Amino acid sequence: MAKDIYKSIQRSVGDLLRDVEIGRIGLPDLQRQFVWRDNKVRDLLDSIFKGFPIGYIILWSSPEEYENTKTIGSNEKTFKKPDDLVIDGQQRLTSLLAAIKGLKVKDKNFRERRIRICFNPLETRFEVWSQAFERDANWVSDISTVFKAHEEFSLPDFREDFFEKLNASRTKKEQEPLSRMEKSQIENNLNELINITKYNLPTLQITTFADEEEVSDIFKRVNSGGQKLNENNFIETLIAVYDTAIYDKIHAFCEDSRIPKNGSAYNNIMSVSPQHLIRMAVGLGFRRARMKYAYMLLRGRNLDSGETSAAIREENMDKFRKALDTVLDLNNWHSFLNLFGEAGYMNGGYVASTYVVIYGYVLYLLGKYTYGVDAMTLRKVIKQWIFMSAITSFYSTSPESTVEKQFADLRSISSAEEFVEYIIKSIETAFTDDFFNVNLPNSLYSSSSNSPSWFGYIASLNVLGTPMWLSNSPLANLLVVGASGTKNAIDKHHIFPKNYLTSIGIKDDRDRNQIANFTFLDYNTNIDISDNPPIEYVGRYREKLGEDAFRKSCEQNAIPEGLENMEYSEFLEQRRRLMSGIVRKAYERLKQ
């Protein structure tokens, strides 16, 4: 081979964990979301205990010029910068460190928690902690206590305490006390548990001379599933190691976005993840959408010249920090998110793609800071952009390529007027007559409950301030998160009820659950209509509301006139066209 870019070595679990603790190996996972379930940690320990293979650990040597303050936990590190970054095996090493050392991890909502694994030294079984195992004297309720006793040279005392408690339990149950053979068996198995730290893990040590593409290729070839290197984790690792302050700031913002609190990043649209913020900062600071560029930038690459150096890395990091500060500015963040409500999207459950938020925000910030668009005009065009990009699934096909093209287009734009003109032209290119007359009605031919077209129709009703069908209550007031308490005040209801459709021979859910067969009703109206067909309940509500009010309610909610006398297929076809018309009307309202 042309050059040695890695070497294969055997590293014991104990050596690897010790190197993480002293900072020689950079492992930031205890500070970010830990995605493994506890039963997977249990299975990992069981596999090691039995001597089964658990895969490779891949390390990538840090360039010598990089500096770091900390990598894991809060203890002072012997190594001020890591010699190696963990490229593959982060979750496994985090699992082992958390379970063996009793350290806390953060769950998907950034709440700290312990991973407690129990061990039965007579049956050599591992289980996830529960109160039942805590109370059962046959079990060590937390294996970290065994490793702690070993480190403190108090394992004999630990064993005697275990024997005493187990014998007391057996006496209470009128069972025979531990035999000499059982005590010997427990002692041997506790020693075998401790010997988990002697388990050798095959480790690939990639040299500092390997570039990002080579590292990714090694990962893919070694990985049994042939999967690509997870770019998001890769980039988070680089940030955690190269600038801990940025890393902590990102994770604090993500945590705040999930916890209701005034003056924080909390919102009803999206729970933010680190990769979202990284995409935003790279998009704003460098006009790049592909995540592969992010780790090139963080490794000190000039994307134009291809040159890599410490000076370029620091320049890139400064640019990244400034962009990130703009992204994390709460005034910017909430001003942008408020536009979703104005565009009809009252909560994140109706925004089918996170890219609508991520790159909509980048466009908003570019318009505000790079092109200097006045606040009123910017809000107006970004509202339209949110509405269009959400309902058309603008970012659904090759989102990175789509945004890269957009960034390329924006390089030729130099004024606020040109920026606004570009956004409006992009919207009008998507919202053509064909879209409203053909594409949108066709996309409404679906039974998917997560259809962007259905969500866009609901958003349109909100933009227009439309009351629910057969009601005077505006739909928007009841779709805001928290407005309904634990019981929904509104329900999505079949206009032609499912049981009725079944009774006339339409039994396939794909037909009965067509988007065009749904409307929102208040709870009491939903109960009242129940399984009655339109021919039975329409006349009742026509009389109750009055002819004019009933006709207006149908018109506002895209309900065909005379639906009670229609065949189901005819009703669906007409309603799709009417729903599309409501979307078009909402767009025209947003343009005003």
Whether the per-residue pLDDT at 17 is higher than 80: the answer is yes
Banded model confidence at residue 59, pLDDT cuts 50, 70, 90: confident
Where do we find the tokens 């206590």? 145
pLDDT per residue as tens digits for the range 575-591: 999 999 999 999 999 99
The residue among 515, 539, 544, 396 whose CA lies nearest residue 456 is 515
R_g over Cα of the chain: 30
Residue 489 confidence (pLDDT): 55
Read off the pLDDT of each residue in 561-570 and give the average, rounded to a whole number.
95
How far apart are the C-alpha atoms of 276 and 281, rounded to whole Å? 9
Banded model confidence at residue 212, pLDDT cuts 50, 70, 90: low
How far apart are the C-alpha atoms of 299 and 310, rounded to whole Å? 8
Strand order in the sheet with 57-61: 6-12, 200-206, 57-61, 84-88, 25-26
- Report the 3 state secondary structure along 361-420: HHHHHHHHHHCCCCHHHHHHHHHHHHHHHHHCCCCCCCHHHHHHHHHHHHCCCCCHHHHH
**Percent with pLDDT over 70 in the chain:** 89
Question: What angle, 0 to 180 degrees and rounded to 10, lies between the N-to-C axes of helices 274-286 and 244-256?
Answer: 120
Q: How far apart are the first and last CA of the chain?
A: 65
Cα distances from 399 to residues 179, 360, 396, 429, 475, in angstroms, run: 66, 12, 6, 17, 32
Q: Which residues contact 283 (CB under 8 A, 6 or more apart)?
A: 289, 358, 359, 362, 403, 407
pLDDT per residue as tens digits for the range 286-336: 999 988 888 788 778 888 888 888 889 889 989 999 999 999 999 999 999
Whether this model's pTM surpasses 0.85? no
The residue among 46, 135, 155, 52 whose CA lies nearest residue 96 is 46
Where do we find the tokens 């930038």? 297
Q: Which of 174-178, 377-381, 470-474 has the lowest mean pLDDT?
A: 470-474
Strands 125-128 and 117-120: antiparallel
How far apart are the C-alpha atoms of 576 and 443, rounded to whole Å? 9
Whether the per-residue pLDDT at 176 is higher than 70: the answer is yes
Q: Looking at mean pLDDT, say which of 481-485, 497-501, 521-525 comes out highest.
A: 497-501
pLDDT per residue as tens digits for the range 118-165: 999 999 999 999 999 999 999 999 999 999 999 999 999 999 999 999
Residue 480 confidence (pLDDT): 66
Residue 301 confidence (pLDDT): 85
Banded model confidence at residue 74, pLDDT cuts 50, 70, 90: very low
Residue 385 confidence (pLDDT): 98
Residue 409 confidence (pLDDT): 96
Average pLDDT, the chain: 88
